[in-house]
Every structure is written in C-alpha cells, then in structure tokens.
A = this chain, B = another copy of it.
Amino acid sequence: MKKTNIIVGQSGGPTVAINGSLAGVIRQAMRSEEIGEVYGALNGIEGLLQRNIIDLRASMTATDDFDRLAATPAMALGSCRFKLPPPPNDAYEKILQIFKDYGIGIFFYIGGNDSMDTVKQLSVYFKERGEDIRCVGVPKTVDNDLPVTDHTPGFASAAKYVAASIAELDKDSSVYDMFSVIIVEIMGRNAGWLAASSVLARETGCAAPQLIYLPEVAFDPENFLAKVKDYSKKNQLLIVAVSEGIKTADGEYVSAAGATKDAFGHVQLAGTGKYLEDLIKDRLGCKVRSIELSVLQRSAAHYASATDIAEALRIGEEAVRAAIDGKTGVMMTFERVSNAPYLTRIGTVAIEECANLEKTIPAEWIIDGCDVSEDMLEYLRPMVVGRSQYFEVEGMPSFKNLDKTIVKK
C-alpha cells in the first residue's frame, strides 16, 4: 500500500488498559514505513466530527513515553458515549470528508460493544463508496463481555484489583473474633465475569469470597438468607461477591427492590450491595457491611496486571499490522493457545460477529448459583500474573498526558 495517515479514537467506559492499546497503535504506526501521520480523535467519533484531531507523534518523544501512556488509566484521548446512527446520516459523509482532508486511510477505534458497531457501520459505508479506508476495532472492557475473543484488555487488571482487594478485606475483617458479613458489589450489568474473578482471592489461602452471585443466574433472596444463616453458625466472617446486575427470577434487578427515599424524599435505587446489606440486617440482624468497589475497580492502574497491559499494547500493535495487511471491518481478538505456559494468538474477526453482542459466563462454570468452577479459575489465573509498571515521582503517580493541540486541515 502507499503511505497513508491513520487516526485512532477511544470510546465507551474507561479501563486501565485502553491507553496501553493506544500506545501500541502509536508505537507500531511510528515504526511502520507504510504510515505517515498518526492522528488522534479527541472524545471519539464525537470529537472527530468536530475535527478535534491531534498529532500523536508530537506527544511521544521520550523513551518511556509508551510505557508511561500504558500505565495511565482511562482514556488519554477522552471518550464519548455517542453511537453512530445507521445510515443514511450526514455524519458518514462528514467523516469521509474529514478523512480525505487529513489523508487518513486507516481508522482504529478502541472500545466495547457500541464502539464495534461504529467500526462496522463505517467500514460498510467506506466499502460501499469504494473508498480504501480501513476500519479496525480494538476491544476493551472491564466487563469482558465481547464475543469471539478469549478475553478483553482491561478485564484482567480489574479482576486482579477486585480479587486482591477481597483478599485484603478478608485480612482486615478477620481481626475480630465475631461473625460478620461483608457484601462486595462488583461491576457487571449482564455478564458476571468481574464478580466471578473474585474467586482468585482464594488463591491466597483464604476462604473468601464464600459466596459469589452473578447476573447469569436468577437470584433467590430466601435461599441467600438461608446460606448466610448457615455461615453465621459456623464462621467468623462471610464475604459475598455480587454483580451489580443480579436479577430475581422475574427478571427484576435486585437493586430495584431496594428503591427507597433519600433524605430529600427522592426515590432512588439503593444499589445491589446496599440492598443485600439491608436485607440481612432486617431478617437476620447480624453485623453486615456493604462495600461498592465503584469506579475504583476500573481505574486502579496502581495495581494493573502486567499480563493485561502487555497484551493491550500487543493487540494495539497487531491492529496496525492487520490494517496494513488490508483488513477492514474487523475486531482484533485473542485466541488462547495454552495456559501453561500462557500463550495467546492475536487474530481478527468479522465485526458483524461481535458488534452489539454480549458474552456471558458458560452455565457449566457456575456452581449452585453461588460459586464458580475450576474451569473459571483456570481461565482467570494466567491473565492476572505480574504487576505492571507504574511510574511515580516522589511517591505519587506520574501519568502521561497527550499534547492536545488541534491540527487544522
């Protein structure tokens, strides 16, 4: 192919690995003689439409800039929640014009399900118009719910943080000689991968989490209470890991049952963990505390998985190779070759096979609706190995920021 310029954007919710993939794209692009300018779109498609385009080479001048960018949580380019509407829509022509103005022949979009839909729509549009503009999706999500790919960058780091935090909570909560319950609410509306990853805490030798509840299985409050009561008879501590998205058999979110009024009389959802805390207090009267890991679990770059960040960089680099090889309308994927040693092969999948689809936990990996199997442990173990590099100056994180000077054309 003749020399072309590229542009990369980030979209959807933050993870700690999404800048790793950005660093991978930039590094491989700067290494490739087929590629000229390396542009970034601020705030995804939304910023692209406003020509908020920056020169990424300008930001990468020091030897450790790629690693520092990879160690920076969230999105250095900013994000958007904008999903490109299906054609006909003015946006497509506008984007084509912008790409022509900037000489862009390849578009990379790092994101989750919705972002892959944008990659799909644009690749179809460019093909129909006979334009050689290649569109490649680079997956990321803490939820690990993208289909086809074995797993998704960003997930393993969140999993490592969740599991280690639970192991630490187990130590923290074991110091007193009395029964208590801790409910840890973990992200995941429809897929329970992240809550399931809490099982890794047991690798430290503790029994926590003793119960794991996932959105894949209907939640039965009475059964749950019975289990808590059983534990209260024989244990000093019970840690429950629960997906925010668990639902009862009638399909209602458990958090919806916790609808209550705040101090100002407004009805609001209590949150799944808080609701279970209140349920235990009301029915069993035992000591209970709920902890919401909140956005900490997707932003804790200080405890990212080295394996995850390395893979995020690698899949970004491979995305550039795939595009140069002529791929378009694809999402990059991991295929697991082996667990010991841990080896993955990076490939591509036609974007239609993954856009707008969700991958949940296989039913056979869930035990009695409140635990996960050895298969899940085997799947998770290799992905959390190692602590990724985290840059500090005088004890505080040193993040990489991009030069956001807009390049006008």
Contacts and interface: CB of A to CB of B under 8 A. Distances in A.
Interface of A: 10, 14, 43, 46-47, 72-75, 78-81, 160, 163-165, 167-169, 171-177, 200-201, 203-205, 257-264, 266, 268, 270, 275, 278-279, 281-282, 289, 291-296, 298-303, 305, 307, 381, 383-387, 390, 392-399, 401
- Enumerate the 10 nearest inter-chain pairs by beta-carbon distance, A residue then B residue, closest first: A384-B395, A172-B299, A385-B395, A79-B175, A264-B282, A74-B171, A203-B396, A168-B299, A262-B278, A75-B175
A119 B87 CA distance: 76
B295 A266 contact: no
A177 B401 CA distance: 16
B175 A205 contact: no
Given A385-B395, A395-B160, A401 B295 contact: no
Stoichiometry, as copies per complex, reads 2
14 contacts: A43-B175, A79-B176, A164-B302, A167-B397, A168-B300, A168-B397, A171-B301, A171-B399, A200-B396, A203-B393, A258-B263, A262-B282, A291-B295, A385-B394
Nearest to A393: B203
Contacts of A167: 396-397, 399
Nearest to A52: B177
A301 B387 contact: no
A172 B302 contact: no
A292 B349 CA distance: 40
A79 B178 CA distance: 11
Q: Is the interface of A mostly helix, strand, loop or mixed?
A: mixed
A395 B43 contact: no
Contacts of A305: 395
A14 B395 CA distance: 23
A204 B396 CA distance: 6
B78 A401 contact: no
Contacts of A164: 302, 396-397
Looking at A205, A294, A307, which has the most chain B CB atoms within 10 Å of its CB? A294
Contacts of A169: 295-296, 299
A81 B178 CA distance: 12
Given A294-B291, A396-B167, A74 B299 contact: no
A387 B393 CA distance: 11
A378 to B, nearest CB: 12
A176 B262 contact: no
A12 to B, nearest CB: 9
Contact of A81 (B176, B260, B383): B176
Nearest to A386: B395
A266 B282 CA distance: 8
Contacts of A72: 171
A335 B279 CA distance: 49
B266 A281 contact: yes
A394 B200 CA distance: 10
Contact of A264 (B205, B266, B278): B278
A282 B268 CA distance: 12
Looking at A164, A168, A294, which has the most chain B CB atoms within 10 Å of its CB? A168
Contacts of A386: 392, 395
A78 B171 contact: no
A235 B396 CA distance: 24
Nearest to A78: B175
Contacts of A200: 395-396
Contacts of A298: 172
A71 B384 CA distance: 19
Contact of A78 (B174, B258, B307): B174
Looking at A43, A167, A200, A387, which has the most chain B CB atoms within 10 Å of its CB? A167
Looking at A79, A305, A307, which has the most chain B CB atoms within 10 Å of its CB? A79
